Amino acid sequence: MRLGWWALLGVLGIASLAQAQNRSALLVAIDDYSFITDTRFKLKGADLDLQYMTALCQFGGFTVATLKNDEATRAAIETVLTKLEQNAARGDEVLFYFSGRGSVAPDPDSFDPFKDMEATLVPHDGQEASAIFDLRMRRLARFAQTIEGKGGRVTLILDTCFRPLTSRSGQYRHYNDVPKCVLRNTDQEVSVKQPIYSGPGTFFCATGAPGAAYEWLTSDTDDTWAGAFTHELAGIASVHIQNNTSPTMAELMMEVQASVLDRERQGYMPGFRPIPPAEVLYAKAEPYGRRSIFSQPGAQPTDPAKARVEAASKQRAEQTEQLRVGFQLMDSVPESERAGLEAKVFGTLGAQLERSVATLKLVRRGGLAPDRLVEVSKEGDKWHAVVPNEPTDDPDQKPRFAADSFEGLFSTGLAEYFERSALIYRLFRLADAAEPTLSAAIRIDTSADTVRHDDLMTLTVRSSIPSSVYLLDLDGAGLVKYSAPIRVFPDTSLKPASSGYELSLRGRVERMTAVGPWKLRAIVVQLPEGVTLPSLDVAESEYPKALLAHLKELLRLIESGKARWRASTKKVDVVQ
């Protein structure tokens, strides 16, 4: 027999929650709605979302109450929120988390029911065509005001969306293309009140409105799903827990944004842009400047929570060490050829690629989002491949390949592109994973610490000894770009200066550089006497092969200890 919600709350330990001091969390996760019966449109991640958030909360010293699926009615959620309000005291920390579908509802204060509609959360007993049982944002704002009015602090984390964008065409996606919302009033032109939440406290959400939140598989080998936003947040927070570091809430969110924004920019996860944006995180030292709530001295997490955090941290570390590549078959690829192409990608062709590029990982359909997505199309008898998220402002400079067969794409430069990209990632991460071997004072300076797109900026690298420099950067969307040396600027040796050696470069901040923290990295290298690297001063048509040979030899010399190196990183803030 199904328990009534009043009995259920007792089972969940709400009585003890009411007496708990300092840190209390209500976690709500729903992937089963009675009015959604078609399995193609169902969500699947409630179980794992709750496991991740429960583990994080235990490390944060929270007393946790959970409501999942039919437990998570509007009345049950309201009862726990009210109890938390009643028992709040000065110094308390209160967390509300929701994973499920969102929607919008008419603003009762507006004359136009479809203008400035209010964002809502849909409980288990929510209705397909009516918002009568929805939890409105104004209720969450009132909840936060009550807690903070008593001297407590509130954090709201929502893995949901409210008014999604239209998804793109194309098969072989690396996520579940079912935005986490209930779409009502589809025949009306609707606007959503901005900002979607205007109350106090820390507010994290998978997206604004319009925008979309999704689920994805958490591994390539099983059928376990989680909210993409929750999974990224849990993975990043778990790394900090395992490393015993405590970022600010702003830093934690910006790491999440760096991980997912490039996926949205590729176009296959349209609208997945976690909020608040970087400029808000920068501007509001309170509350976003305080330390992560998921790290509390004296916390006593259970063994399952420890195992979950350890596994999430390990998975995260493995991902950052690999260049993850996925294929997306566009609509022009005939249906009759799709299954055979999938077998080829993950069969002999994939095996050859992974053998030749040790740090490359081919990502199967439905797995975590790849670092590079290859869009494959067919026009007549010709096959085409393009990499849409190559870091360049010029769409004509995106890597493009054409061949008479699908297999031919790999022999016309696509395989070399993968290997070159993997080497660039390896070179950038060298400074994070290895001990420098060059005894020298290295510094990288910029003419400004805060820049906007199209700003002119001067970058200067200084060293106490003669050497050459490699310049790379990591933008706020997690995209690594290789900048120098290149064909048009092949000599990056540091020149004698008044104190030591230096090299200065001047250029514009490209518009593709994501808003947020921008890491500029200089890797200074001293080659053995008499050793030279393959020249980059070649014809344009020969440059891709020349750069590949150059980077392979450079990393071989560095990793064998024959070339000495040291890195310096400068963080610049890119703002709107």
Tell me: the pLDDT tens digits for 308-363?
999 888 877 777 667 778 787 888 888 888 888 878 877 777 777 777 676 777 77
Collapsing DSSP states into helix, strand and coil, what is residue 443? strand
Which pLDDT score is estimated for 286?
Answer: 87
Taking the model in full, what pTM does it have?
Answer: 0.76
Average pLDDT over residues 239-263: 84
Identify the pLDDT of residue 186. Answer: 66
Q: d(Cα 390, Cα 363) in Å, to the nearest integer?
A: 18
Greatest mean pLDDT among 129-138, 247-256, 271-280, 486-495 = 129-138
Strands 118-121 and 135-136: antiparallel
Fold for 323-430, please state it. Double Stranded RNA Binding Domain (3.30.160)
Q: pLDDT (tens digit, 9 = 90+) per residue, 401-436?
A: 899 988 888 888 888 888 888 888 889 888 877 889
Q: Which range has the worst mean pLDDT, 54-68, 188-202, 346-360, 544-558?
A: 346-360
Phi and psi, residue 118, nearest 5°: -95, 135
Q: Superfamily assignment of 435-574 in CATH?
A: Macroglobulin (MG2) domain (2.60.40.1930)
Q: pLDDT-derived band of residue 7, with 50, 70 and 90 as boundaries?
A: very low
Whose tokens are 């060298």? That residue is 430
Q: Could you tell me the sign of the dihedral formed by the alpha carbons of 105, 107, 108, 112, in that order?
A: negative
The ranges assigned to domains in the chain are 23-320, 323-430, 435-574
Q: Which helix (H) or strand (E) holds 513?
A: none
Predicted local distance difference test score (pLDDT) of residue 190: 78
Residue 490 near residue 532, CB atoms below 8 Å: no
- Is residue 10 predicted with pLDDT exceeding 90? no
Averaged pLDDT, 460-484: 87
Q: Which residues contact 333 (CB under 8 A, 6 or more apart)?
A: 171, 341, 376, 377, 378
Residue range 218-240, pLDDT digits in tens: 876 677 899 999 999 999 999 89
User: Rounded to an integer, what distance in angstroms lies between the CA atom of residue 143 and that of residue 154?
Assistant: 9
Mean pLDDT in the chain?
85
| Cis preceding linkage at 113, omega within 30 | no
Confidence category of residue 21, pLDDT binned at 50, 70, 90: low
Q: Which CATH class is domain 23-320?
A: alpha beta
Task: Encode 361-377: b = buried (16+ Cβ within 10 Å), e = exposed.
Answer: bbbbbbbbbbbbbbbbb
For residue 170, give every residue at least 6 positions away whose Cβ sits within 8 Å of its Cβ, in sequence order, or none.
268, 328, 329, 330, 331, 375
For residue range 141-184, list pLDDT tens digits in order: 999 999 999 999 999 999 999 987 654 444 445 567 788 999 88
Asked whether the predicted pLDDT for residue 40 surpasses 60, the reply is yes
